[in-house]
Amino acid sequence: MMSEKTQHGWTFDKLGNYVKLQGGNAFKSRDFKDNGIPLLRIANIRNNGIELDGIAYIDDEIAKTYSSYLLKESNVVIAMSGATTGKTGIIKKENLPLLLNQRVGVFKIKKDNFMIQDYLRFVVQSSYFQNVIKIDAIGGAQPNISPKQIESIHVYIPPLDEQQKIAAILSSVDKAIDKTKEIIEETETVKKGLMQQLLINGIRSHNFKVSPIGSIPEAWQVLSFNKVFDRIRTKNYNNNQNVLTISGEKGLVNQLDYFNKSVSSKNLSNYIYLEKGDFAYNKSYSNGYPLGAIKMLDKYDNGVVSTLYICFRLKQPYLQSFYKHYFDSGLWNRQVYNIAPEGGRSHGLLNVGVKDFFEILIPVPSIEEQQEISDRINAIEYKKEIEQKKLSKLTNIKQGLMQQLLTGKVRVPINEDEEVPS
């Protein structure tokens, strides 16, 4: 595809005519250290940014030999293989110093008079650009794309003054997104602290007693699972009706939110029927959840899970939301870990027998205190949900603006007194 001129001085041209994508160095794992210069690897590019947890380091002396791979503030980087192929990130001042590892690329602008860095970062984040990368990366068992393929992607290049204005508009939305993310993180931190406080110390009691599960308010009871919950065994649904089925382990770990509609002919004889408010125990863990996650069916009125899960529902008069928060807190994990056989504690599994599972001990406050504790935690969760909806709205606004501004479908005025037709 040849470059072409569009209206208003825009060009539709190969990205490689304006930038060069430099790949990282193949640092040897034997050179990784516990300290030194941090190394940016594919795994560190996620969630539309750079996350430096689990970072590897290169010795300072070795790093001096590879100074050409040192990244700079505002550099745009991209993952070029694996599950995160195409994901991009912006290097911030607080990330530095940082070395570039293999299969991660950094964009180097070749012609400063034709493209600015801030415009470039939105171009490579755009859904159009990302979709082209996904198509080009398919072809092997593992997604993979080369610098040459990325440089060959055609993009719209407006005049510099429009690039600056477009980047300024999109950057303002990014700031709102970042601020909302900060509020969500702060709210989650407050929620975790509140859960630890209320689920251990309660609300009403200043007197405590020693119990088999540790120090608890004096008025609380300690009961086994089988005194508080009934096990769900039955499959009391019509096989000819459409029901919701869990889509793998991910669904259970994320509060049973990921379901697939089944077809009426699907054989569900090996599944357990759940109703809203029922709980299921997952032997494995993922996405940062601790071993042995218990989650409540909260989003849907009903669904089915595999018989590999241990399912249960509350007896009356206990409160569903209180125990949802209790299980989310992870306070019960030590007990289940202690009763799991040694062979069932490896490879991300926490496998316990059903009988032992229902003998686990849990705290039981009065129903009034369960309600008060739940109300306080629910209030924090509600605040977080509001911010998450705001974040989703802002993200959609950004995507819509990018689609229109980066293609010239909607023009922006360059001067305050200038009107540009859309």
C-alpha span between 155 and 16 (Å, rounded): 10
Within the chain, what is the greatest distance between any pair of CA atoms? 79
Residue 418 vs residue 321, higher pLDDT: 321
Q: What is the pLDDT of residue 49?
A: 81
Q: What is the pLDDT of residue 231?
A: 94
Question: What value does the mean pLDDT of the chain take?
Answer: 84
pLDDT at 228 over 70: yes
DSSP state of 293: -
pLDDT at 261 over 50: no
C-alpha span between 128 and 403 (Å, rounded): 8
Phi, psi of 340 (to 5 degrees): -75, 135
Question: Is the CB of residue 81 less than 8 Å from the CB of residue 142?
Answer: yes
Question: Exposed, middle or buried, 14 (CB in 10 Å: 0-12/13-18/19+)?
Answer: middle
For 212-229, what is the mean pLDDT?
94
Using the CB atoms, write b or e for 205-217: b if 16+ within 10 Å.
eeebeeeebeebb
C-alpha span between 29 and 314 (Å, rounded): 50
Measured in whole angstroms, how far is the alpha carbon of residue 204 from the centre of its chain? 36
DSSP secondary structure of 124-184: HHSHHHHHHHHHHH-SSSS-B--HHHHHT-EEEE--HHHHHHHHHHHHHHHHHHHHHHHHH
β-strand partners of 106: 22, 77
pLDDT at 255 over 50: no
Q: What is the pLDDT of residue 374?
A: 96
Residue 398 vs residue 350, higher pLDDT: 398
- Among positive and negative, which fits the CA dihedral 60, 64, 69, 71? positive
Residue 361 tokens read as: 């001990």
Q: What is the pLDDT of residue 259?
A: 45
- Residue recorded with tokens 């040849």: 2
C-alpha span between 345 and 325 (Å, rounded): 24
Q: What is the pLDDT of residue 341?
A: 65
DSSP state of 294: E
Strand 310-314 and strand 214-217: the pairing is unpaired
C-alpha span between 4 and 314 (Å, rounded): 66
Nearest to 48 by CA among 187, 173, 186, 183: 173
Question: Is the CB of residue 355 less than 8 Å from the CB of residue 208?
Answer: no
Quote helix, strand, coil % in the chain, to nearest 5.
40, 25, 40
Strand 99-100 and strand 37-40: the pairing is parallel
For 386-405, what is the mean pLDDT?
96
DSSP state of 18: T
pLDDT at 292 over 50: yes
pLDDT over 70, % of the chain: 81
Q: What is the pLDDT of residue 359?
A: 92
Measured in whole angstroms, how far is the alpha carbon of residue 325 from the centre of its chain? 20
Question: Is the CB of residue 268 less than 8 Å from the CB of residue 235?
Answer: yes
Dihedral, 384, 388, 390, 395 alpha carbons, nearest 10: 160
Best-predicted range by mean pLDDT (193-207, 244-258, 364-378) = 364-378
pLDDT at 238 over 60: no
Residue 208 vs residue 308, higher pLDDT: 208
C-alpha span between 114 and 160 (Å, rounded): 6
Residue 291 tokens read as: 């071993």
For 154-160, what is the mean pLDDT?
94
- Taking only the tens place, the pLDDT of each residue in 35-60 is 899 999 998 998 778 888 888 999 88
* Cis status, amide bond into 363, omega within 30 of 0: no
Phi, psi of 258 (to 5 degrees): -100, 100
Residue 81 vs residue 258, higher pLDDT: 81
Q: What is the pLDDT of residue 331?
A: 87
For 222-249, what is the mean pLDDT?
69
pLDDT at 175 over 90: yes
Task: Report the chain's terminal Cα–Cα distance, integer Å.
Answer: 27
Q: Which contacts qualify for 289-294: CB closer than 8 Å, 24 or more apart? A: 289/253, 290/330, 290/333, 291/333, 291/336, 291/337, 291/345, 291/348, 291/349, 291/350, 292/333, 292/336, 292/337, 292/340, 292/350, 292/352, 293/252, 293/253, 293/327, 294/327, 294/332
Residue 179 tokens read as: 């601020």
